Chains A and B, each alone.
Chain A
Amino acid sequence: MISLPDRGTFVHRYPNGLVLLGEPMPWAESAAFTIAVPAGSGWDPADRSGLASVTCEMCLRGAGERDNRRFISDLESLGVEWSESVSAFHIRFSGACAADVLPQALEVFADVLRRPRLPKDELENARQGLLQDILSVEDDPADLARRELRRRFFPIPFNRPNEGEADHVRAVTWAEVREHYERHFRPNGTILGVAGKFDWERLRGHVGDLLADWPSREPPAVVETPRSAVVAHVDYPSQQTHIAVAYPSVPYDHPQYFEAVGTVGVLSGGMSARLLTEIRDKRGLCYSVHASHRVRPNMGAVLCYSGTTAERAQETLNVLLRELMRLKEGVLEEELDRLKSQYRTGLVMHQESSAARSAAVVTDWHLLGRTRPLAEIDQRVRELTTTALNRFLQENPPQSFTIVTVGPQPLEVPRDVLEAHAT
């Protein structure tokens, strides 16, 4: 049987607060990196939703010696596959390349972090591109349902659409982009994760040369306002009604985190899981239905989605909610055994991707302040019992559902679910 690595990830914290994580995968030919900068959409001013996304876009339009075109052509010449993303907490830059060009790739992105040109004359292009992204969500009712669910479920200000609001993005000025960059791009709070083939001592030295003298800044304060459960409908002339449901769960650092993830696996892990079986296989109500466990600092959530013809949507919602509420009646030994097998395959497969590992160690550090070796996860999953899962479900039954539907008609939420809200 294949054993999973139990060595810890290399960790180095530079005096300015920057954290470097290194997960060696000596059998790989590649190296991948993930840089998470604490400048995500949660820090957008209330009337500038989308500022983080505009800033991210502007940071990639040339940095240091490179203008926009040279930035891209240099990365392509090095053979770096790269991408950027904005989440509630971070702007992330990720890349993967042949192991021997990792140092040069990191030099390019060190410039992005410290010396972005933020070219004034390209703000309009960046803005137009983002406005089109925002509008394109309106054309996809499934995306729209997910966006409107996040908006109503997650605490303010971490509930905003990462791409922003069209009116706000139209109003963003260059000075605001500059200010967002200056306030939020800082080494303290930034995490750089590397996975794949590398020499740790050389990596640590190289990253130190690039980023150790980046001055730290005081982190900005943020006040979170939690939300209460709501039911909402968005009228939309679609073929299907798109149903999105969320309920609270436990965070990543919670002692029962693996139990929580296990309960979601019972709902949606594999094709024999309950949601697919009950909604799709037994009733033929939909093509797509799934649930996933999501984590953020200090909170966890379960998000569910299904899309189905308007006439069958009410039944789909009813069965979906009934399955969520039925969870507290307990999970079966057989269900847990299947989950454990799936989890193990997933963990082993994770090892085959340097990109996946570099992202995972960064998320670990952000949410736990340490990394979780795959062997530790493997052991925690093996040790799960139905008794522990069922105790978790007794203590944390799915309830307080936030429900968003997008489609031609609103749906009714069954009375027993509404009553469960009240508890």
Chain B
Amino acid sequence: MTCLKHTLPNGLQLIAECYSDAYTLGIGFFVRAGSRDEPAELAGVSHFLEHMAFKGTPTMTAEEVNLAFDRIGAAYNAFTGEDATVYFAAVLPEFQEAACRLLAELMRPVFPPDEFDREKQVILEEIRMYLDEPPFGADDLCRAKFFAGHPLGRSVLGSTASVEAIGVEQMRAYHRRRYAPNNMVLAAAGRVDFDALVRQAEAFCGGWESWDEDRMLHPLEPAYGFHLSPKPSASHEYLIQMSEGPSGYSKERFAAQLLAAVVGDDSGSRLFWEFVDSGLADSASLAFSEHEDAGVFTLTLSCAEELFSDNLERLRKLIRGLETDGITEEELQRAKRKIFTRTVLAGERPRNRLFSLGLEWLLFQSYQSVQEKLRLVEAVTLEDVNRLIQRYPLSCHATVAAGSWEAIQ
């Protein structure tokens, strides 16, 4: 495996992990445009724009775009987050050029007004779909409360009202600023012909004009507290709890991943034994996610409503115990082993590598091979994790409980 990089004169950066023995390749554009970059009146525009990218380009209609991807048998899609929008395709090696060309087309959408209006309806349906699914929007609410005005607190989907109010010209202006070549990365992993990729990027993206646009980073000043989100018809209660962790630039992020595995992995963790093995909850987990200026631990728990208040008390005790006594060496070693296995298994599929490769380069200008990552995880000590628990106490959190009123009261 070799990692190769190149930058076009207009600032577009290319990065690729090339494996000569892979069967397929994953390729994608990673754009520094997410909900955190949106002005309040355009909440949801990054995600709406991601949909509109498939709805017509200077040379292709929406239908032609889909037909062309399907003709080369691509497994392709896009997703939007707080920090980035990602467009990707997994293809056979003979279709590298076609996939690169089509993805580059998506980066220059034309926003036909009829498609814009129709797609707005699709987005509104997507918002309603998530409101029907547990935790019924409580995750967005918790994020807003926890981040308390920080840009990372904004909802990726936006609200029905904000999406309804977005106009084509506003989206066009947002696109011009955020989809400049110097604000994105073209990444590839697997059986990649890198020399050809450079030529293809020059041909398809070389004419794009750069734009002087940066992202404002802000220190996180989280707000703690308990909030209710009523859902009278729910049979379960859903708890979302967010607390602070190290940012993606911090060396402590590997310790944070290990802590999340010890406390909240879906099997064998402290939350698992306390709540899931005992049948007190149908799920309980802790995840760690990293951004440029903040890191977040997100704890989720769902259980039948009659168990909820007892479970809250148990959770408090569990966290108190963790903060008093720390974790054990044995727990740390098992968590390391888990992360090793997952990393190695995931690394066998090129498209899995694509996402961490592209996002880490886009957000942190950092590259680590799977082997380097494993070495960094291995180097984490018990003291590192226990120090992290003290620095970023899970007992300081914003919490949202969604469910029927009575149980929460």
From known contacts A96-B345, A140-B133, A272-B66, infer whether A349 and B304 are also in contact, taking CB-CB under 8 Å: no
- Residues on B with C-beta less than 8 A from A69 are 273
Residue of A nearest to B23 (CB): A348
User: Is B344 a contact partner of A72 (Cβ separation < 8 A)?
Assistant: no
User: Is B304 a contact partner of A1 (Cβ separation < 8 A)?
Assistant: no
- Residues on B with C-beta less than 8 A from A308 are 125
A361 on the interface (CB 8 Å rule)? Answer: no
- Residues on B with C-beta less than 8 A from A80 are 341
User: Is A349 a contact partner of B24 (Cβ separation < 8 A)?
Assistant: yes
Query: Which positions 125-169 of chain A face chain B at CB distance < 8 Å?
Result: 125-133, 135-136, 138-142
Compute how far the CA of A135 lies from the CA of B349 in the bound complex, rounded to whole angstroms.
36
Query: Which positions 248-302 of chain A face chain B at CB distance < 8 Å?
Result: 269-273, 277, 280-288
Compute how far the CA of A130 lies from the CA of B276 in the bound complex, rounded to whole angstroms.
10
Query: Which positions 1-60 of chain A face chain B at CB distance < 8 Å?
Result: 1-2, 27-30
User: Is A136 a contact partner of B302 (Cβ separation < 8 A)?
Assistant: yes
Which of B33-41, B115-123, B166-174, B241-249 contacts its partner?
A: B115-123
Which of A203-211, A335-343, A393-401 contacts its partner?
A: A335-343
B376 on the interface (CB 8 Å rule)? Answer: no
B348 on the interface (CB 8 Å rule)? Answer: yes
User: Is B125 a contact partner of A309 (Cβ separation < 8 A)?
Assistant: yes
Contact of A285 among B125, B236, B350 (CB under 8 A): B125
Residue of A nearest to B267 (CB): A72
User: Is A129 a contact partner of B282 (Cβ separation < 8 A)?
Assistant: yes
Q: How many A-B contacts are there with CB distance less than 8 Å? A: 192
For residue B68, give the distance in angstroms from its CB to the closest CB of chain A. Answer: 9
Compute how far the CA of A344 lies from the CA of B24 in the bound complex, rounded to whole angstroms.
11
B126 on the interface (CB 8 Å rule)? Answer: yes
Compute how far the CA of A244 lies from the CA of B331 in the bound complex, rounded to whole angstroms.
44
User: Is A125 a contact partner of B24 (Cβ separation < 8 A)?
Assistant: no
- Residues on B with C-beta less than 8 A from A286 are 122, 125
B131 on the interface (CB 8 Å rule)? Answer: yes
Compute how far the CA of A58 lies from the CA of B190 in the bound complex, rounded to whole angstroms.
41
Compute how far the CA of A141 lies from the CA of B267 in the bound complex, rounded to whole angstroms.
27
Contact of B75 among A29, A126, A281, A346 (CB under 8 A): A346
A173 on the interface (CB 8 Å rule)? Answer: no
From known contacts A129-B276, A341-B72, infer whether A237 and B233 are also in contact, taking CB-CB under 8 Å: yes
For residue A283, give the distance in angstroms from its CB to the closest CB of chain B. Answer: 7
User: Is A77 a contact partner of B128 (Cβ separation < 8 A)?
Assistant: no
User: Is A139 a contact partner of B134 (Cβ separation < 8 A)?
Assistant: yes
Interface size class, chain B: 35 or more
User: Is A352 a contact partner of B349 (Cβ separation < 8 A)?
Assistant: yes
Contact of A240 among B75, B119, B128, B302 (CB under 8 A): B128
From known contacts A132-B282, A338-B70, A345-B24, infer whether A272 and B128 are also in contact, taking CB-CB under 8 Å: no
From known contacts A72-B268, A352-B23, infer whether A287 and B125 are also in contact, taking CB-CB under 8 Å: yes
From known contacts A79-B338, A272-B66, infer whether A345 and B92 are also in contact, taking CB-CB under 8 Å: yes
User: Is A139 a contact partner of B66 (Cβ separation < 8 A)?
Assistant: no
Compute how far the CA of A354 lies from the CA of B76 in the bound complex, rounded to whole angstroms.
22
- Residues on A with C-beta less than 8 A from B93 are 2
User: Is B338 a contact partner of A133 (Cβ separation < 8 A)?
Assistant: no
B329 on the interface (CB 8 Å rule)? Answer: no
Contact of B90 among A236, A283, A349 (CB under 8 A): A349
A124 on the interface (CB 8 Å rule)? Answer: yes
From known contacts A136-B236, A142-B132, infer whether A272 and B340 are also in contact, taking CB-CB under 8 Å: no
Contact of A135 among B73, B119, B236 (CB under 8 A): B236
Contact of B337 among A76, A142, A287 (CB under 8 A): A76
Contact with A along B82-97 (1 / 0, CB 8 A): 0000000011111000
A-B contacts, 10 of them at CB < 8 A, read A30-B344, A72-B267, A129-B277, A129-B279, A139-B236, A141-B132, A236-B233, A284-B117, A284-B118, A285-B125
- What 9 pairs across the A-B complex have the smallest Cβ distances? A128-B279, A341-B73, A132-B282, A284-B121, A270-B70, A345-B73, A284-B118, A272-B66, A287-B126
Name A's B-contacting residues (CB within 8 A): 1-2, 27-30, 68-69, 72-73, 76-81, 96-98, 124-133, 135-136, 138-142, 236-240, 242, 269-273, 277, 280-288, 307-309, 337-338, 340-346, 348-349, 351-355
